[in-house]
Amino acid sequence: MTPETTERLRAYVDYLRDLGVYDLYRRGEPRPEFANLLAPVQAPRPVAAAPAVAPARAPASPVRPQVSAPAAPSLSPFAASQQRTNASAPPKPAPPPPPAPLELSPAFAPPDMPLISFNARAELPQHRASPDDKPAALQSIRHHIGDCTRCPLAYAGRRNIVFADGNPNARLMFVGEGPGADEDASGVPFVGKAGQLLNNMINAMGLKREEVYIANIVKCRPPGNRNPEPVEANTCSQFLVEQIDIVQPQFIVALGAIAATYLLGVKKPLVALRGQWHDVRGSQTAVTYHPAYLLRDPSMKGEAWKDLQRVMVAMGLKS
């Protein structure tokens, strides 16, 4: 797709959303266990049809109207034939009355996107992938995602879907909010500046990046690195739920408020969520600052380190 086409599609999606049309997703494809994740969008109220206007017909007459004056010789052949057509055309039908103004019913209003915790999104699976089967199980999720067009981020200039990185059998998973420019270009999460800081944090914990699993709430880059919108996060979360269920990490670290909000299904300031354990699909989950935030405010690195140390103690990496 050319950048121009992408831009036009994006503008069209924006236009539809300005109209309140949020139901832009593929129908029929989500698996049944995820079918109830999005608020149902009712069918739009039918707009009253404009009264039918019978087309005015020209009186059927075998007598062609006379053209009284010959075409001026200076006219081009096209102009002359146009003039003849006009002269012999039947009277134009009256234009139909303008349609009744489109009444936007509540059904068209943006649905309130409920904040649903990852625990409430789906039952925990009854059967778990064995360690040997986890790579293939994750690969099948990636395959299912395909060249995704389930949410507007597909039309927002995305270059790569950023699925995840790391060890399918990891004990520890990091969850960020969404890819940035470097991740979008490479298809790998946390490879830019924030990623380098995350690597340092992982190493400081005594781990290697290859030992942990890293993913994001949304797999496509939000334009301009804005926060993912609820409709985007809600749409994409089904895949992260599955990834967590397959990897089954003992521990998750939510990086930043956006990741914490969607994982936990609560909208609270980050400080209110730090320093305690949360449950996300059976994984003990800690919340800490996003590395990008720590790059902007390095004075908070000590606080983040406290959060990671708590995780290290629980993991038995530190007494």
- Toward ligand URA, which CB reaches closer, 166 or 189? 189
Q: Tell me the residue number closest to ligand URA, measured at CB.
A: 176
Determine which residue in the list 129, 194, 241, 312 makes contact with ligand URA, applying CB under 6 A: 194
Minimal distance in Å, beta carbon 237 to ligand URA?
Answer: 14
DSSP designation for 125: P
Contacts of 204 (CB under 8 A, 6+ apart): 305, 308
Strand locations in 38-191, DSSP E? 165-166, 172-176
Determine which residue in the list 111, 157, 166, 179 makes contact with ligand URA, applying CB under 6 A: 179
Contacts of 140 (CB under 8 A, 6+ apart): none
Does position 189 bind ligand URA by CB under 6 A?
yes
Site string for ligand URA, 205-234 (x = CB under 6 A): -----------x------------------
**Residue 41: what residue type?**
V
Locate all alpha helices (DSSP H) within the chain, ordered by sequence. Answer: 3-18, 77-88, 118-121, 134-145, 181-186, 193-204, 230-247, 256-264, 270-273, 291-296, 301-315
- Toward ligand URA, which CB reaches closer, 83 or 227? 227
Residues in binding contact with ligand URA, number by CB under 6 A: 12
Judged by CB under 6 A, the stretch of 173-181, 236-244, 277-285, 295-303 that binds ligand URA is 173-181
Q: Report whether 290 contacts 255 (CB < 8 A).
A: yes
Judged by CB under 6 A, the stretch of 41-49, 76-84, 187-195, 270-278 that binds ligand URA is 187-195
Q: How many CA atoms lie within 13 A of 214 on its CB side?
A: 24
- Toward ligand URA, which CB reaches closer, 116 or 254? 254
Does position 111 bind ligand URA by CB under 6 A?
no
Does position 190 bind ligand URA by CB under 6 A?
yes
| Strand ordering across the sheet containing 165-166 | 165-166, 213-216, 172-176, 251-255, 283-288, 278-280
Q: Interface with ligand URA by CB under 6 A: which residues?
A: 176-180, 183, 189-190, 194-195, 216, 292
